[in-house]
Structure 1
Amino acid sequence: MNAALDKYVYLDSRDRAFIKSLTEGVAERRITLDYIADRVSKTPTERMKPVIRMIIRMGIYQLVFMEHVPDSAAVNEAVKLTRLKHIEGLGGVVNGVLRAVTRLRDEGITYPDPETEYSCPGWIADRLRLDHGTLKAEAVIRSGVGSMPMYLRVNRLLAGRDEVAAELLGEGVRAVPADDAPDILKVEEGSLAPGLSESFRKGRYSVQDLSSYTAVYEMWKQISVNINSENSVDIKIIDMCAAPGGKSCALAELMEDKAHIRAYDISEDKLSRIR
């Protein structure tokens, strides 16, 4: 996603954030979006041309899940897309489906089950219920959607969290320290494109999920109990599933470059991302 957005550096940060939110939302809510479309369309989504199906999904997502987007804008832009894709003859179909969705939304959309409402594949929902029971399974299903925060791992060898947070604020991004994770910042406001960030290019921070960092940090705490400046160079760490390299780099930073770390991965293609 960030690589794609890097091609559109001329866009305002709000436009970039909109594109990112729409793209990720449509992918995440695909099952729900198709269900809503099938409620109002004479042609089932599975029989639609792929480009029309995607335009309708994008329109429905804006109408149902993006409250700040006016209905007229969502519908009109979807119809414009049919012209851009040279299928303007189907613009009326897109217009009719999306306007029907607005009426359905206003009446109140009902769903047959949590997996449809929260866009969880049926086989996963069935397995969750089998393994964990209905209540816990449905709680997990509900937690599977929604925007996830972006976390940044500050390179402690080059900078402190407060320094990087101040640099990011100058780039229009507000990031705050994460609880119980000493090197982690959580992006609270603004659209961050790491490839365009001066601090990122200087290696002062990396993007890393909090759970990924926590696993490394807990391991480091266990290791640090048994090392000192004299024998730390003898510490050897092997990362057997290393791509794209975030955990290995985090360990190198935590160990202050005083350990031998070997990074492996079964995929040659993924290994190229580490190199």
Structure 2
Amino acid sequence: MINWNTKPIAPPSARRLAYDVLYDVFVKEAYANLTLQKVMKKYSGKKYEPLSKPEKGLLTELVYGVCRRYNHLTWIMGRLSTRPVRKMDSKVRILLAIGLYQLVFLDRIPESAAVNETVEIAKKVTHLGNVKFINAILRSYLRKKIQLHFPQRKGHELQYLSLTLNEPEWLIRRMSAQIGKARTEAVLEEFNKAPALDIHANPIKLPASKLFEKLKFHHAEPELIPFIPDGNGIRVGNGDAFFRSPLLKNGEAYVQSAASMIPAVVMNPSRGDKVLDMCAAPGSKSINIAQLTGNWASIDAWDLYEHKVNLIDHNARTLGIRCIHAEQHDSTVIDESRKGQYDKVLLDAPCSGLGVLGHKPEIRWRRTEDNLKEFPPLQQKLLDAASVYVKPGGVLVYSTCTLNREENEDMIAWFLEKHKDFRRDTFDFAGRHLVEGMITIWPDEFHTDGFFVARLVRRNNDD
């Protein structure tokens, strides 16, 4: 018998939920954004009372704040503990990070609340010895915080930059060698800002101008993204208002980083084009291409995994896109039957992700310099395959969400040296005439994720 009088259960506190999310991120290597979305969804249903706006805000702040400032927080732990940080239990590190983040960065939270609430969570997830240790470290910080100072920049520049920019030393050293110290610092400072919420209009259902008016009506504080044409890229100042509105559910808009909208713009597809998106999930770039052609193209969207293919199908249906054909396919394996069949091919290649450290701050602590060696061989294999599918006179767009030169400019140089039947293709973007046929989207300049996009054309037989 159904009990119709069952009351919703009160949700756990924001701090406890932050601990659960961060445990998954740092121990199980989950993505912070996806795990946080799952938790938010769980505590917005019928079983639980919804999280209040302040609790949502604190949960988000703690998760992303700890992910960004993790080395800063562990540096403090190291100064206050005789036990090496690397030998601390993972639960202890995470709880200390949550408590210290509040004490160091959140002035609005009383010190007593930061300490006591963290200790209460510790009592539920670990043993008494760890509880006492956590309590002692947090209270030690309150006594000694005035005495804690970062090393001076002079004489300790790399360590100083690592702690102030919240990035591993190897990344700062590598980026500085490739793009210079000034740009490196500007880019990494941008990664420590809360990322904006960007959405793409869906002109198949609603003109961008009308979507903009609806966003204003719902108090979502919209602002046009100047480098996305036709008003289709919109930055939303009030994310809560946007997600409360029916616009997302109705397929009138969808969430997408401004930088990831750019490959389709550079491709510049035409009505009637036959297009291949080789690494398509979750399908946003295929959807961009469909929208730019007014739903009048034939787009094959490939992904290696069945559940991601289903996601592409679902997203396309929600938005009323009928010209995308999602298919499970290993893009490193050439399909001989489709050689030279496509007017335009997009290869948004798997990469090191060093351009999305704002949206995915935990990546900075997972990547190692050795990890970067894994990506170029895969990218080369995918580019070799992509070249096969492009018609003579057709276009190949290569993009990544990294700022690593070896995966970007060096990859294009390698490709053109091997494939003499391709050349760079000049294009215009954001008021610039790009004669080199490629552009790097710098986060400090465009205020979005870091991206690289190149446009190549296959020579006609008579070229």
TM over 0.5: yes
Residue 201 in 1 paired to residue 249 in 2?
yes
Over 3 Å counting, the alpha-carbon distance change for 1:272 and 1:28 in structure 2 is: farther
Residue 135 in 1 paired to residue 182 in 2?
yes
- Aligned ranges 1:32-51 → 2 under 5 Å: 32-51=72-91
Over 3 Å counting, the alpha-carbon distance change for 1:106 and 1:217 in structure 2 is: farther
- Residues 125-183 of structure 1 show CA distances to partners (whole Å, capped at 9, x for unaligned) of 22223323433333333333221111011211222445445555666643333223311
Native 8 Å contact 1:244 1:273 kept in 2: yes
Give the 3-state SS of the residue equivalent to 2:173 in structure 1. Answer: helix
In proportion to residue count, which structure has more helix? Answer: 1
Letter in 2 for 1:188: G
- Aligned ranges 1:34-183 → 2 under 5 Å: 34-107=74-147, 109-111=149-151, 112-161=159-208, 163-165=210-212, 167-168=214-215, 173-181=220-228, 182-183=231-232
Over 3 Å counting, the alpha-carbon distance change for 1:163 and 1:2 in structure 2 is: farther
Distance 2:144 2:226 in 1: 42
> Taking every aligned residue pair, what percent have the same amino acid on both sides?
26
- Residues 28-61 of structure 1 show CA distances to partners (whole Å, capped at 9, x for unaligned) of 2222221121111222221111111101011122
Native 8 Å contact 1:17 1:191 kept in 2: no
Give the 3-state SS of the residue equivalent to 1:264 in structure 2. Answer: strand
Letter in 1 for 2:40: L
2:235 equivalent in structure 1 = 186
Native 8 Å contact 2:211 2:252 kept in 1: yes
1:3 equivalent in structure 2 = 38
Shift, 1:256, TM fit? 1.2
Native 8 Å contact 1:14 1:191 kept in 2: no
Over 3 Å counting, the alpha-carbon distance change for 1:161 and 1:54 in structure 2 is: same
- Residues 182-225 of structure 1 show CA distances to partners (whole Å, capped at 9, x for unaligned) of 1122121343685x6522111111110001113322333xx4xx
Native 8 Å contact 1:2 1:193 kept in 2: no
Distance 2:115 2:172 in 1: 33
Native 8 Å contact 2:91 2:126 kept in 1: no
Over 3 Å counting, the alpha-carbon distance change for 1:8 and 1:40 in structure 2 is: same
More divergent stretch after superposition (260-269 vs 203-212): 260-269
Native 8 Å contact 2:280 2:301 kept in 1: yes
Length, aligned pairs only: 264
Shift, 1:273, TM fit? 2.7
1:214 is aligned, of 262, 281, 288, to 262
Over 3 Å counting, the alpha-carbon distance change for 1:78 and 1:165 in structure 2 is: farther
Over 3 Å counting, the alpha-carbon distance change for 1:190 and 1:66 in structure 2 is: farther
Distance 1:21 1:105 in 2: 22
Shift, 1:7, TM fit? 0.5
Native 8 Å contact 1:30 1:119 kept in 2: yes
Distance 2:218 2:54 in 1: 13
1:263 is aligned, of 301, 305, 317, to 301
Native 8 Å contact 2:197 2:239 kept in 1: no
Give the 3-state SS of the residue equivalent to 2:237 in structure 1. Answer: strand
Shift, 1:241, TM fit? 1.8
More divergent stretch after superposition (118-127 vs 165-174): 165-174
1:251 is aligned, of 269, 279, 289, to 289
Structure 2 unpaired stretches of 5+: 1-35, 45-49, 152-158, 314-463
Distance 1:264 1:197 in 2: 32
More divergent stretch after superposition (153-162 vs 165-174): 165-174
Letter in 2 for 1:12: S
Give the TM-score of the pair, scaled to structure 1: 0.83
Distance 1:55 1:170 in 2: 41
Native 8 Å contact 1:174 1:187 kept in 2: yes
Native 8 Å contact 1:114 1:141 kept in 2: no
Distance 2:242 2:134 in 1: 33
Native 8 Å contact 1:154 1:205 kept in 2: yes
Letter in 2 for 1:153: H
Native 8 Å contact 2:165 2:185 kept in 1: no
More divergent stretch after superposition (159-168 vs 17-26): 159-168
Native 8 Å contact 2:201 2:234 kept in 1: yes
Higher Cα Rg, which structure: 2
Over 3 Å counting, the alpha-carbon distance change for 1:123 and 1:202 in structure 2 is: same
2:6 equivalent in structure 1 = none
Letter in 2 for 1:115: S
